Structure formats: C-alpha cells, structure tokens
C-alpha cells in the first residue's frame, strides 16, 4: 500500500526492517468485560473487533504473516457456556469475514488440534481455508485448540514412527527435520511476539518457534489494542538489534 494512505507514524516505519511474521497472544478479554461490569462473552465479542484491526494493520503496513493465539488446548477446560460462546463467535467470524479475506488477498491457515472443534465450526473453517487457499497476500494463521507442548509431542511421535518403520535414521534428525513435522511447517518462525494484558509468560504458545523472536509485553487489554499501539510496537522492534545468539560486529573485533 502507498505510504500516502498510512498515518505519519506508520509511514515512518522502515519497510526493510519490518518483522516478516508477528505472533500475538490476545489476552485480556475477560478482564476488559469485568472492568466494564459486562459478561465475559461481551469481552470476547469486543476482542473480535481488535482482531479485524490487527489484520488490517498488518495488511496495510506490509507484514507477511500474522499468527493469533485464538483458543488454546487449555481453554477447553473453561466453563461450558463460555466455550460454546467462543465457538459460536469463531463460527460467526469465519462467516462474516470470509468475503473480506478473499477480497483483500488474505490467506487463512490454522494450527492446532482442529479435529477437536465442533463439526459446524470445523466445516466453516474448512470452507474459508478452501476459499482463500490461492491468496498470496497476508497469511493469517489462527491457533485453534493449540498447545506448544502437544505440537512438539505430535512431531516427535511422527518422527518415532518413521524411525520404527526404518524410513528414517536417528542420526538424520535435526532442527530442520523437526520443524518440518510441526503444525507450522512451511511458515517462517515469528520475528516478534506481542502479548497484551500485562501477563509475562508464553502460556504454551509456539514454544519451538519463538526461540529467537523479540518479545513485547503491553498492559493494554486485547479489546483496547489498536493500530496506533501496534505501530508503536513495530517502531520499537525496529530499534532492536537481533543477534540470534551471535555478537555484533563491534564486539567481535
């Protein structure tokens, strides 16, 4: 998109130093609702608006991949009424956003144990995945029924099966092989992780993939997270020096 259509803050970002992949732990919907004396479901509904704004911001600025932690494996343990409401909200999001995703050249992906989703939600999800599979703009990845530990276990079991069958030698197992067995196979690791609500933990999210990501924690509750703060975080990211375990050129001499 032309820089003329961006805010001055967004236009000031260096397009050569943007993160290729941003991952977000969208936290704080329930606390947002509680502060406003509303039902928790209202917080999730408001959070869906923040999802749309984050997606549009990435598309406008030129970020290639956006992964959103939408529903964890642990979230199944929440009260049945809340889980049902979240599934209904996900289904509504898929139905209402399908055409917009397609029109804006956004490709939808999912990671996680999606076979655990209700049949109607899974059918709606598969429909949007199919409708957007040829899009080559922003890649939007929804982590649904996702857990980092279960993902790694799933990958290790797959490798063990191949070793047992004699199709794979243990000596050939390396980071590239394991990465290829993860749900995120084919998707670059995140460059930047953002977590809202002030919590300072990963909560079982992308444990392998975030090894060298930059982290940014904000006290803002997810429903209040908007484009202006997103751009400020990107500007902060561009001031960091990413070393990937190495030393900078000044220290090396």
Ramachandran angles phi, psi of 68, nearest 5°? -115, 125
Rounded Cα distance, 67 and 112, in Å:
12
**Segment 202-217 mean pLDDT:** 98
> Could you count the other beta carbons within 10 Å of the beta carbon of residue 96?
11
Are 48 and 89 within 8 A, CB to CB?
yes
CA-to-CA separations, 68 to 97, 138, 187, in angstroms, rounded: 15, 13, 14
Residue length of the chain: 253
Nearest C-alpha neighbor of 143 from the set 25, 13, 17: 25
Are 26 and 51 within 8 A, CB to CB?
yes
Are 65 and 21 within 8 A, CB to CB?
yes
Nearest C-alpha neighbor of 63 from the set 101, 21, 102, 24: 21
Q: In the prediction, which pLDDT does 138 show? A: 98
pLDDT at 3 over 60: no
pLDDT at 6 over 80: no
Q: In the prediction, which pLDDT does 250 show? A: 58
Rounded Cα distance, 7 and 231, in Å:
9
* Mean pLDDT for the chain overall: 94
Per-residue pLDDT tens digits for 225-250: 999 999 999 999 999 988 776 666 55
- Determine the angle formed by the axes of helices 119-131 and 80-103, rounding to 10 degrees: 20
* Positions marked active-site: 27, 75
Q: In the prediction, which pLDDT does 223 show? A: 98
HSE-CB at 244 with a 13 A cutoff on CA atoms is 3
Per-residue pLDDT tens digits for 104-121: 999 999 999 999 999 999
Are 85 and 121 within 8 A, CB to CB?
no
pTM for the model stands at: 0.93
Q: In the prediction, which pLDDT does 9 show? A: 79
Are 207 and 36 within 8 A, CB to CB?
no
Q: Work out the burial of residue 81: count CB atoms within 10 Å of its CB; fewer than 13 is exposed, 13-18 middle, 19 or more buried.
A: exposed
- % pLDDT > 70, the chain: 94
């Amino acid at each position: 998109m032309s820089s003329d259509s961006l805010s001055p803050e967004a236009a000031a970002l260096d397009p050569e130093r943007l993160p290729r992949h941003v991952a977000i732990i969208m936290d704080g919907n329930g606390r947002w609702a509680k502060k406003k004396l509303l039902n928790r479901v209202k917080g999730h509904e408001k959070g869906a608006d923040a999802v749309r704004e984050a997606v549009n911001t990435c598309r406008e600025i030129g970020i290639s991949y956006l992964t959103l932690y939408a529903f964890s494996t642990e979230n199944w343990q929440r009260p049945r009424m809340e889980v049902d409401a979240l599934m209904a909200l996900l289904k509504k999001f898929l139905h209402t956003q399908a055409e917009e995703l397609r029109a804006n050249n956004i490709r939808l992906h999912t990671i996680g144990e999606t076979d655990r989703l209700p049949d109607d939600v899974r059918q709606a999800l598969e429909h949007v995945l199919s409708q957007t599979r040829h899009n080559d703009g922003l890649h939007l990845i929804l982590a649904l029924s996702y857990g980092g530990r279960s993902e790694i276990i799933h990958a290790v079991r797959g490798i063990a099966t191949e070793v047992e069958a004699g199709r794979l030698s243990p000596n050939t197992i390396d980071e590239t092989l394991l990465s290829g067995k993860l749900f995120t196979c084919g998707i670059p690791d995140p460059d930047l992780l953002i977590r809202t609500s002030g919590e300072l933990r990963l909560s079982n999210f992308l444990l392998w993939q975030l090894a060298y990501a930059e982290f940014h924690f904000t006290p803002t509750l997810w429903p209040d997270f908007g484009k202006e703060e997103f751009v400020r975080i990107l500007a902060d990211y561009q001031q960091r020096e990413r070393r990937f375990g190495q030393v900078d050129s000044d220290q090396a001499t």
